[in-house]
Amino acid sequence: MPEPTGDRKPRVALIGYGLGGATFHAPLVAATDGLDLAAIVTKDPTRRAQAARDFPTVRLLETVGDVWSDAQGYDLVVVASPSGLHASLALRALEAGINVVIDKPFAATAEDARALIAAARARDLMVSPFQNRRWDGDFLTVRRLLADGRVGAVYRFESRFERWRAVPKPRWTEADAERAMEGIIYDIGSHLIDQALVLFGPVREVYAESDRRRPAVRVEDEAMIALTHASGVRSHLFMSAVAGQSGPRMSAYGERATYVKFGLDPQEDSLKRGVRPGDADWGDESADGWGTLHDGTTRATIPTERGAYENYYAGVDRALRTGGAPPVDPNDAVASLTVIEAAKLSARERRVVHLDELG
């Protein structure tokens, strides 16, 4: 566990100011009373200008070397760089004696993730995956319904994250995209798999289909992953960047009732509009987006739980101040990456993969 900072505000250096850094990490760190967003690392002129407008009092750095050379000045590095750099930057931060939060994907493989965990443990430092979608309102609603027994024992869970991207992400079109951990499975799949594991536990078998729907992309831009959990529950996860219309965001089929919910959590769009935690209606979903619970006879509208992305960095703050556990255990990233490896093998060989094959 990290050495407690006590009453002193932990100082945070954010590496990267693209979508993840600018939309999620910087606003959420800045909105956490206990944390001090001290530096943002980006050399892109446009992003530097945006960061200066967004956070005029925060120090702007051009290279990660500026962080390592002043390692004593930071308590936490947030890695929001391009995916292919996540593990190497996180390891460098740990070697410099700094705690780390890593945006998804945590690493390329489960083995790489274990190496990061070992490096953190050897130095008594914290490393944690950023899984903000554990605080999506729809996910929190499903957890509540399961805990309350209103769905009953679940036998099938469906989860979709589908969007229409007319222009592919530039990195998905590059020759080394696969090696750089680009594509819909490492991207959206990291969230959907994590949510399924939190809800229903370890996975025994994986079957996946993936496709490159647009000629320019070098990695999958659409995929389906079917999980058989050790508990017997089956999770069917759908992800796409080429869906003009999405199916239900979540569906939980149980012995007592079925819960169905359409529409994405509103927090991402709120952050893009400049809304912040603590603002009026933050995390609230309008009633027209609420899901329904149907037991075959009666249909009930279920208000969506309030989303709370801010809880992740509040948990990071507590861990840094007290030396306690992080809000998301890094071993959960190992479990998710094991599933991702199985899914890629399954899609490539067109067969069910048993996780014990992967050791």
Residues 216 and 158 in one domain: yes
Proportion of the chain above pLDDT 70, given as a percent: 98
Domain that holds residue 218: 137-306+340-353
In the prediction, which pLDDT does 247 show? Answer: 95
Q: How many C-beta neighbours within 10 Å does residue 349 have?
A: 9
Q: What is the pLDDT of residue 61?
A: 98
Q: Do 216 and 93 reside in the same domain of the chain?
A: no
Last residue of a domain, one of 132, 154, 188: 132
pLDDT exceeds 70 at position 5: no
- Are 188 and 226 found together in one domain? yes
Q: What is the pLDDT of residues 68-123, one digit of tens each?
A: 999 999 999 999 999 999 999 999 999 999 999 999 999 999 999 999 999 999 99
* pLDDT higher than threshold 70 for residue 1: no
Specify the pLDDT at position 18.
Answer: 96
Last residue of a domain, one of 132, 151, 174: 132
Yes or no: say if 263 and 249 are a contact pair by the CB < 8 Å rule: yes
Q: Among residues 91, 112, 132, which one ends one of the domains?
A: 132
Cα distances (Å, whole numbers) of residue 94 to 1, 98, 120:
13, 5, 6
| Same domain as 39, residue 24 | yes
Domain membership flag for residue 325:
no
What is the DSSP track for 305-349?
PPP-THHHHHHHHHHHHH----SS-HHHHHHHHHHHHHHHHHHHH
For residue 51, count other CB atoms closer than 10 A to its CB: 21
Residues 181, 123, single domain; the answer is no
Tokens of 234: 């089956």
pLDDT in tens, 265-289: 999 999 999 999 999 999 999 999 9
Q: Which residues lie closer than 8 Å to 359 by C-beta, 6 or more apart? A: none
Quickly state the pLDDT bin for 7 (edges 50, 70, 90): confident
> Per residue in 45-80, pLDDT tens?
999 999 999 999 999 999 999 999 999 999 999 999
328 lies in a domain? no
Smallest CA-to-CA distance from 187 within 314, 343, 310, 31 is with 343
* 176-229 pLDDT per residue, tens: 999 999 999 999 999 999 999 999 999 999 999 999 999 999 999 999 999 999
- Stated pTM of the model: 0.96
Mean pLDDT across the chain:
96
Given phi > 0 = left and psi -120 to 50 = alpha, else beta, which region is 263? left
Tell me: do 55 and 165 sit in the same domain.
no
CATH code for the domain of 255: 3.30.360.10
User: The domain that contains 53 carries what CATH number?
Assistant: 3.40.50.720
Q: Where are the beta strands (DSSP E) in 62-144?
A: 76-79, 99-102, 127-129
Three-state secondary structure call for residue 37: strand
Same domain, 153 and 301: yes
Q: What total of structural domains would you count in the chain?
A: 2
Q: Which residue has the tokens 């060989």?
A: 349
Asked if residue 314 is part of any domain, the answer here is: no
Long-range contacts of 324-328 (CB under 8 A, 24+ apart): 324/1, 325/1, 326/126, 326/127, 326/128, 327/128, 328/128, 328/129, 328/130, 328/131, 328/134
CA-nearest of 278, 281, 277, 279 to 289 is 281
User: Does the structure show a pLDDT above 80 at 9?
Assistant: yes
Residues 123, 195: one domain?
Answer: no
In a domain, 63, yes or no: yes
Residue 327 within any structural domain of the chain? no
145 in the same domain as 91: no
- Residue 257's closest CA among 140, 147, 154, 141? 154
